[in-house]
């Protein structure tokens, strides 16, 4: 089940909200409703993997209790922390990387005439990367003394399973939401804000991301793309990925507000970035912060020599690339990101800017789109084919195929509209501060525009069927 599906919009969500608000307004009673709904949401995909999900939750709750019993940063607590992290990573590693590891091994031994190893293909449980990372952050925070171990297993189970972010993130930390499991505010105004935010995300996903998907897929599947085709494919996919993932985040935040939860933002106009360092302060913020707090600092952060700090920076992003998936493309993508941040750090780039400069933005934009190719490609060879077209100037004369029939007028129009929205976001941050009418008037106008667009989008969804969010595969 996904947010952009009729079964979610017209069955699951109305039923959940009806039960949620019929239950007496006591946080823990409503937590039970959230927990049951979240488990049902997850089980809709596969019931058997719900057992794994519940087992990981129970295990990390128990580890947190043992760490708290020994006391923060004590030798006994450290032993329990190591056990928790090792088991969590082992679970993630088995389900996410077993197929990749065996396929790589078989490819190597085949070259020397050894029979390949046979195995049963391991199915990847959806959301496992996110709920394992959240569990690790919880036990590490308890060990560091940054968070108290919860005495209520229901609260922890509800935190891990919250269906608005369960499958694709953002990656939450228990310490940031702990108080909301004990008390949270509900109001018509807050519910309305959530509904508006949900509709905004729904439009981003269905109208923009899903419309651009066929064009991006076509460009990446071309056997002999021109330079223009390759760059159009990279830009289209980058746009699709942003509006797909940011759309999901908007819907997650909106659903949270409907339930009285306030979730942190996960995107902050990333295509306005003027360095790759700044890009990672704006893109998938929850993952960037997680990698900083639980990988970079764990490796030693900036406490060692300057060269050691650079190595830690590179390794953090390299491991972040591997986290995204079991494919050599993600290994290369992680190494590329680590190298870019490494170089910028040696040049003193901090990623904090107050003014917009084209000379800083343009090379950053090129780097972002170049990295999108290896991130999207099915293999390193496919990425290399696109890179050759992009930089060796193949068929510079024009678009060999895309604009001559593969791309529809609707797709190209939506691509232009998407970048107009990015431009508007840029003007809001770096341009003159204009204000049209009162906040109440702007809100009313937004609702009157959103509701008809939302209805039309539902009709489009019903006609085409739903498509999974891109980050489901991670």
Check: CB of residue 25 under 8 Å from CB of residue 183: no
3-state class of 280 per DSSP?
A: helix
Residue 324: active-site member: yes
**Cβ contact 199:227 at 8 Å:** no
CA dihedral 305, 89, 242, 379 (to 10 degrees): 90
What's the burial of 449, exposed, middle or buried (CB within 10 Å: 0-12/13-18/19+)?
A: exposed
Q: Are 56 and 94 in contact (CB under 8 A)?
A: no
Closest CA to 429 of 352, 350, 351, 355: 355
Query: What secondary structure does DSSP assign to 250-262, as a single string?
Result: HHHHHHHHHTT--
Residues 6 or more apart whose CB falls under 8 angstroms from that of 149 comprise: 64, 65, 67, 68, 142
Kindly report the CA angle at 174 between 169 and 179, in degrees rounded to 5? 120
Q: Which residues contact 430 (CB under 8 A, 6 or more apart)?
A: 272, 355, 356
Residue 458 burial (C-beta neighbours within 10 Å; 0-12, 13-18, 19+): middle
Q: Give the end-to-end CA distance of the chain in Å, rounded to a whole number.
A: 16
How would you class 52 by CB atoms within 10 Å of its CB: exposed for 0-12, middle for 13-18, buried for 19 or more? middle
Tell me which of 121, 186, 324, 395 is the catalytic residue. 324
Instruction: Report the run of H or E that residue 373 belongs to, with start and end.
Output: helix 358-376
> How many residues does the structure list for the chain?
474
Rounded CA separation 386/408 (Å) = 22
Q: What is the DSSP string of 301-345?
A: TTSS-HHHHHHHHHHHHHHHHHHH-SSHHHHHHHHHHHHHHHHHH
Helices within 48-127 (DSSP H only): 48-70, 75-110
Distance CA 147, CA 140 (A): 9
Measured at the alpha carbon of residue 350, what is the angle toward residues 346 and 356, in degrees to the nearest 5? 120
User: What residues act catalytically?
Assistant: 324
């Amino acid at each position: 089940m996904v947010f952009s599906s009729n079964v979610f919009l017209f069955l699951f969500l109305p039923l959940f909200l009806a039960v949620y608000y019929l239950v007496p307004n006591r946080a823990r009673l409503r937590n039970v409703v959230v927990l049951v709904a979240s488990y049902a949401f997850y089980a809709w995909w596969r019931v058997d993997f719900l057992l794994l999900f519940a087992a990981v939750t129970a295990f990390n709750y128990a580890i947190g209790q043992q760490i708290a019993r020994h006391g923060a940063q004590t030798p006994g607590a450290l032993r329990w922390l190591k056990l928790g992290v090792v088991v969590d990573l082992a679970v993630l590693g088995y389900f996410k990387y077993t197929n990749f590891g065996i396929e790589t091994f078989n490819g190597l031994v085949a070259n020397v005439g050894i029979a390949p190893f046979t195995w049963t293909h391991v199915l990847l449980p959806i959301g496992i990367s996110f709920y394992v990372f959240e569990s690790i952050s919880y036990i590490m925070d308890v060990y560091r003394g940054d968070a108290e171990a919860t005495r209520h297993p229901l609260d922890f189970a509800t935190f891990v399973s919250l269906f608005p972010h369960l499958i694709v993130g953002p990656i939450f930390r228990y310490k940031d939401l702990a108080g909301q499991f004990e008390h949270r505010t509900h109001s018509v105004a807050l519910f309305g804000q959530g509904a508006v935010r949900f509709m905004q995300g729904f439009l981003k996903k269905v109208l923009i991301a899903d419309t651009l998907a066929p064009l991006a897929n076509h460009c990446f599947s071309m056997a002999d793309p021109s330079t223009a085709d390759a760059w159009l494919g990279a830009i289209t996919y980058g746009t699709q990925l942003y509006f797909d993932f940011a759309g999901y985040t908007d819907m997650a935040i909106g659903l949270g507000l409907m339930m009285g939860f306030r979730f942190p933002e996960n995107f902050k106009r990333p295509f306005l970035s003027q360095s790759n360092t700044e890009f990672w302060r704006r893109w998938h913020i929850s993952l960037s912060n997680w990698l900083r707090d639980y990988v970079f600092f764990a490796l030693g952060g900036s406490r060692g020599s300057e060269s050691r700090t650079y190595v830690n920076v590179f390794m953090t992003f390299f491991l972040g690339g591997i986290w995204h998936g079991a494919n050599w493309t993600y290994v290369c993508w992680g190494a590329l990101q680590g190298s870019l941040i490494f170089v910028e750090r040696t040049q003193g780039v901090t990623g904090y800017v107050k003014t917009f400069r084209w000379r800083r933005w343009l090379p950053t934009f090129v780097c972002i789109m170049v990295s999108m190719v290896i991130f999207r490609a099915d293999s390193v060879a496919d990425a290399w084919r696109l890179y050759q077209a992009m930089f060796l100037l193949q068929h510079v004369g024009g678009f060999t195929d895309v604009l001559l029939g593969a791309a529809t007028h609707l797709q190209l129009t939506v691509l232009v509209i998407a970048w107009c929205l990015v431009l508007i976001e840029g003007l809001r941050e770096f341009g003159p501060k204009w204000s049209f009418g009162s906040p109440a008037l702007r809100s009313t106008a937004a609702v009157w525009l959103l509701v008809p667009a939302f209805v039309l989008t539902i009709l489009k969804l019903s006609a085409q069927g739903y498509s999974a969010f891109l980050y489901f595969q991670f």
